Amino acid sequence: LAVKDPTAVERANLLNMAKLSIKGLIESALSFGRTLDSDYPPLQQFFVVMEHCLKHGLKVRKSFLSYNKTIWGPLELVEKLYPEAEEIAASVRDLPGLKTPLGRARAWLRLALMQKKMADYLRCLIIQRDLLSEFYEYHALMMEEEGAVIVGLLVGLNVIDANLCVKGEDLDSQVGVIDFSMYLKSDDELGGKERNVQIAAILDQKNYVEELNRQLNSTVSSLHARVDSLEKSNTKLIEELAIAKNNIIKLQEENHQLRSENTLILMKTQHHLEATKVDVEAELQTYKHSRQGLDEMYNEARRQLREESQLRQDMENELVVQVSMKHEIELAMKLLEKDIHEKQDTLIGLRQQLDEVKAINMEMYQKLQVSEDAMKEKNEIIGRLEDKTNQINATMKQLEQRLQQAEKAQMEAEAEDEKLKQEYVNKSESLQKEFSQKEKQLLQLETDLKIEKEWRQTLEDDLQKEKETVSHLRIETQEIINLKKEFLKLQEKNKQLKMICQDQEAALEELASKLSESKLKIEDIKEANKALQGQVWLKDKEATHCKLCEKEFSLSKRKHHCRNCGEIFCNACSDNELPLPSSPKPVRVCDSCHAILIQQCSSNVP
């Protein structure tokens, strides 16, 4: 005969004991009632069997005083692998009555059973066999396939509700002995197989309903989370709208301020222009008066030259008078130069004012660009708001579809309940006790359905509130559109103001061009006056013939002197005129030197 492996026999025996204990616990719990206490014998035997299964193949760990062999080490690993197990581990460590690691392990198993997550925790352990190899031998039950089978059997314990008091029990000193008398079969149990089949069917239905409830709870929690997120987004949008309104009010105030500043600048420029006009008119009048004085002086000089022709003896005295007249002319020229410098200073001031006006206009333009950028950002925010409203409508439609699906599932559950009632009515009177129990279960299911209906009503109320918020958001979007229209009107007004400013700048440029023309005329006068200085005149005795036509002077052909070159020629040759673009009237020109003559040359006056 082949010798069997003793560790394999131990694993098979422990697996069978686990099956019997879990099966007996579920059957007795269903017959006794689902909520179990810590004094219930099948529950105590279940914990003893689980201790034996977890202890199988444990490695002995050395310490300073003795050898340790407890199951608390692998169970403590669950805290690292499964984050939800941190609460159990913390509560087990905080229990005051526990002193040994075995007591902590027993308390951990009881708390995991109450949470209905023992199968999940042990499954995490079985998956991580590399970590378990530190605590178990390679042939241990938790390292082999039997451990996975036990974890699958533990899933069935989620049907049972355990109410265990861990704080007052003495878990350190309990003796773990398996009572095999509880698992021996009797004649009564053979007759109850049909009942077990029916009970299994009912449990399957109950598990199906519980899973539906879990799914509905998950959907409700997700809906609540979405509702919270929508409320937060709505509050953010309301705050953004308030900020946008405040910004629009500030922009309107800035526009009013800029308009007032524009009006002040226009008034100042008008006053400056009027003052400059008055100054220019005064200067022109003074220039005319000075020109008249010069004409008078020229006439007097002509008279003196005529007297010189008659009285040659008084030439020396008349020359002295002419020298004095030249000094006076120089003084007048200096005065004219001073006036010209003052006019140049005024022109420089006007140019500076023009530069300042241009800088102010540039600042206005930059502010307008900033306001336009802000309006573009607000338009983008409005688009985002519209997208969010569309998303809210889509989520509302999805919620309505999910509610319709839940109602369909409820109708199917009610139809299945009615079918079960009809089947139970047709059965015999011997199963009345079981029918009473089933009716109690149906009452519990109906209460659960009522609770679900109430949840649906609350969800519908929440949906109505969300619709109201959507309507408020639409109203606010309309207000934003109206604000946008007002901003466009302000932009049009701003454009009109820009046109007015451009017109004013064009007027200032025209005034500057006129002033430059007057300056050019003054410079022409200065050049003509400079040409008069330093010339040497020919004597009348030496000049007997005209320079051009070479004819003798007579009463019909009088002598004429050129101011620039001092040549003497007849009146017929000195009547040449030349049109110039800078002067509106034709100018007389000398035939010998081609100099510009402001007045006609005479016979005795330069």
- CA 16 to the chain's CA centroid: 66
Rounded CA separation 153/147 (Å): 10
Name the DSSP class of 159. Answer: G
DSSP string, 74-102: HHHHHHHH-GGGHHHHHHHHH-SS--SHH
Q: 107-116, 147-156, 202-211, 264-273: which range is least confident on average?
A: 202-211
Q: Is pLDDT above 80 for 120? A: yes
Structure confidence by residue, pLDDT tens digits, 222-254: 898 889 899 998 899 999 899 999 999 999 998
Rounded CA separation 22/503 (Å): 99
177 neighbors 80 (Cβ within 8 angstroms): no
DSSP string, 288-320: HHHHHHHHHHHHHHHHHHHHHHH-GGGHHHHHH
249 neighbors 374 (Cβ within 8 angstroms): no
Pick the CATH number of 547-605 from 3.40.50.2030, 1.10.760.10, 3.20.20.80, 3.30.40.10: 3.30.40.10
Structure confidence by residue, pLDDT tens digits, 383-427: 887 787 788 778 778 877 877 887 787 788 778 777 776 775 666
- Other Cβ atoms closer than 10 A to 73: 17
pLDDT of residue 533: 59
Name the DSSP class of 578. Answer: E
4 or 333: whose pLDDT is higher? 333
pTM of this structure? 0.35
What are the residue ranges spanned by the domains of the chain? 6-183, 547-605
Q: Compute φ and ψ for 218, nearest 5 degrees.
A: -65, -40
DSSP reduced 3-state for 544 = coil
User: Which of 62, 70, 78, 146 lies closest to 112 in space, CA to CA?
Assistant: 78
Structure tokens at 319: 């020359």
Structure confidence by residue, pLDDT tens digits, 174-190: 777 777 777 665 555 54
User: Which of 351, 339, 333 lies closest to 279 in space, CA to CA?
Assistant: 339
Domain 6-183 of CATH type 1.10.3720.10: no
Structure confidence by residue, pLDDT tens digits, 512-536: 888 888 888 888 887 777 765 555 5
pLDDT of residue 1: 38
User: Which of 272, 410, 423, 407 lies closest to 350 in space, CA to CA?
Assistant: 272
Rounded CA separation 50/45 (Å): 9
> Where in 47-176 does DSSP place strands (E)?
61-62, 67-68, 161-162
